[in-house]
């Protein structure tokens, strides 16, 4: 979502921050929208993490078979 729909990702981060601000005001522990127990913006990579090469379409290194 961070790469494909950045406006929606920003809204999700804002929602998470708003929820946690309210929970802090109520004296409760924070909650996160990820399973990593950390803020959404901190655990979501900004770059593509897969090792694909968008070259000429040939597969000479074997990456396309794994």
pLDDT in tens, 45-60: 877 666 555 556 566 6
State the residue for tokens 């979501």.
44
**Strand, coil or helix: 39:** coil
Check the CA dihedral 35-40-43-48 and report its sign. Answer: positive
pLDDT in tens, 7-47: 999 999 999 999 999 999 999 999 999 999 999 989 888 77
In terms of Cα–Cα distance, which of 52, 59, 9, 62 is closest to 34? 9
- Compute the 3-state secondary structure of the chain and give helix, strand, coil in percent, each to the nearest 5: 40, 0, 60
pLDDT at 3 (0 to 100): 85
């Amino acid at each position: 979502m961070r790469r494909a729909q950045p406006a929606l990702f920003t809204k999700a981060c804002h929602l998470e921050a708003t929820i946690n601000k309210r929970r802090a005001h109520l004296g409760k522990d924070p909650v996160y929208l990820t399973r990593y127990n950390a803020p959404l913006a901190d655990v979501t990579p900004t770059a593509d993490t897969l090792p694909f090469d968008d070259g000429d379409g040939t597969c000479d290194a074997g990456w396309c078979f794994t």
